Amino acid sequence: MTPEKVLDDGFLVVEQGRIAAVGPWRELSRSWSGPVEDLGEVAICAGVFNMHTHLELSHLRGQTVQGHGFSQWVKSLIALPMAEADDATLDAAVAELAAGGTAWVVDITSRKSQQVAAALERAGLGYTLGIEFFGHQPTQGLVWPQGASGLSESQWQHVSAAGHALYSTSPETLRAAKAWCTEQGRVFPLHLAEHQGEEQLLASGDGEFAELLRLRVLPQDFTPPGCSPVESADRLGLLDGRTLAVHCVRLSEADIRRLAERGTSVCLCPRSNEYIGVGRAPWAALKAAGLNLCLGTDSLSSNQDLNVWNEAIHIIEKTGGEIGFAEVLRWLTVNPARFLGLENTHGTLESGKVAGYSIVPDGIERS
Ligand SMILES: [Zn+2]
């Protein structure tokens, strides 16, 4: 089913992990003799994509500062034990994803990559593992973070190299990570234009956030590029159709045009942005510019839960329905499937695709 097509009294035939047929119950049930599960009075759609999580931070739910901006939030985060998520915590977080009808997750990780991959596999969720590069230390080529050690050969097939951000990671490392992704045919996730401090740091090297970063991340000889985060990323050659720019809160009209020209997909994390207190991304302008938009919850260190439907509900509510159900449904299904090259297996309820579905939450306005 395409997002535009609604089927009443629908029936989904599943055989060997694939959708064998979709159609009205009164027609398909005549030729079906297998077991039937009645979901009741619900609407279902394809399994949804949560395009930005950090599952390895799942033990930190509710422990960071809320609503006081990025510097205060990150200070509270780094004071916590960031590397201590155990398997039970990861399994509980993944169970939360599964309960929300999540078919696929793009998870960013640097500390517990193998454990995160294993937890996603135990629950049968599809995943992309963005191994995150961070730091300004000079390196020869890509030095993979410790957390990536122990990944099996099959798990490496799910790996992307992810950049943390333009302010936290050296241009050489970001370019090398992007180049690896291009060579290997992988997507490249990057936190981009999330907050005012990032914007100011890149424009002038000043500000509260820049001072905070100088304490342990930013090199003494750091020279700001003197432009916006989007322009800086573009100058480094990081923006193309296989890059996922995450957050994109602080954008000028020129930045939006640039992202559209490059064909870069954008992952919005509206509740994380509100939790931290960095403002709202220009949702309507991004949509109007024709960008391929997706949604992510971000981690439990900056959100209440991992149900990506709640991001969609947030946007519908905050825009007073200007951005409505049909639109956000694309952000949850066909848009991320297209970005990840999974349009033949995911994103819609059509025969031949991977079996799975998501129940549309009760509270969502479907007009
Ligand atoms: Zn993130």
60 CB burial (10 A radius; 0-12, 13-18, 19+)? buried
Nearest CA to 157 among 200, 126, 134?
126
CA of 296 to the centre of ligand 1 (A): 9
CA of 23 to the centre of ligand 1 (A): 39
CA of 272 to the centre of ligand 1 (A): 9
**Where do the DSSP E strands lie in the chain?**
10-15, 18-24, 44-45, 48-53, 102-109, 126-133, 159-163, 188-192, 243-247, 265-268, 293-295, 358-359
CA of 111 to the centre of ligand 1 (A): 14
C-alpha span between 238 and 243 (Å, rounded): 7
Q: Tell me the chain's radius of gyration from C-alpha atoms.
A: 21
CA of 321 to the centre of ligand 1 (A): 27
* pLDDT, tens digit only, all 367 positions of the chain: 454 688 999 999 999 999 999 999 999 889 888 899 999 999 999 999 999 999 999 999 999 999 999 999 999 999 999 989 999 999 999 999 999 999 999 999 999 999 999 999 999 999 999 999 999 988 878 989 888 889 999 999 999 999 999 999 999 999 999 999 999 999 999 999 999 999 999 999 999 999 999 998 999 889 999 999 999 999 999 999 999 999 999 999 999 999 999 999 999 999 999 999 999 999 999 999 999 999 999 999 999 999 999 999 999 999 999 999 999 999 999 999 999 999 999 999 999 999 999 999 987 877 6
DSSP-based three-state secondary structure for 57 = helix
Q: Which amino acid is at 191?
A: H
CA 16 to chain centre: 29
CA of 54 to the centre of ligand 1 (A): 6
CA of 247 to the centre of ligand 1 (A): 8
CA of 281 to the centre of ligand 1 (A): 15
CA of 44 to the centre of ligand 1 (A): 28
Nearest CA to 286 among 265, 270, 269, 272?
265
Global pTM value: 0.97
Length of the chain: 367
Q: Which domains does the chain have, with CATH numbers?
A: 48-344 (3.20.20.140)
CA distances from 39 to 15, 36, 237 (A): 18, 10, 48
Nearest CA to 246 among 188, 175, 169?
188
